[in-house]
Amino acid sequence: MAEGFKRIKRELVAKGRILDYYHDTMQIPNGNIAVWDFIQHNGAAAIVPVREDGKLLLVRQYRNALERDTLEIPAGGLHPGEPTKLAALRELEEETGYRSEDAQFLISIRTTVAFCNEKIDIYVADDLQAGEQHLDEDEYIRVEAYTVEELTDMIYRGVIQDGKTVSGVLAYARKYGK
């Protein structure tokens, strides 16, 4: 813990399917006591799938928190003990129907550092083989392909706002000169 900060107690407020919500009672460096919200997340993995023609595959799905569809790179939570690279490849196949034998690490992000510890490792896969989607019962996903230029334009116009997607697309463009 950072110098001068001390956690006095952590109380579980609610246990969720993908996260747990806590109240942390903290003593801060000036001696004051504060109660902070804390979200425990088990981590996630995402992948930037690159087709042979150079287009990136994204998934369009409804997001309840925003009450609208979003356009995102494939991603999902980690299973207990699952390495992020394997999770990224699993999510690629589940959400897009494409498989890859390997993926290259691209970037790690922390999504909401003020109150959540979620970390997402993002990978790139470019040796895609067409297969079949394996969606969860509560998922309805459409797969779409775009050029890096189209996606970058959508990011700067505010069409794409999802943090992992923005980070993944821009990191891919920077690293691979697209």
Question: Which residues are identified as catalytic?
Answer: 137
Q: How many CB atoms lie within 10 A of CB 81?
A: 5
Q: Are 129 and 143 in contact (CB under 8 A)?
A: no
Alpha carbon of residue 150 to chain centroid: 21
Q: How many CB atoms lie within 10 A of CB 176?
A: 15
Residues 6 or more apart in contact with residue 85 via CB below 8 angstroms:
45, 103, 105, 121, 123
d(CA 94, CA 75): 10
**Dihedral sign, Cα of residue 19, residue 23, residue 27, residue 32:** positive
57: three-class secondary structure by DSSP: strand
> Beta strands 119-125 and 44-49: pairing type?
parallel
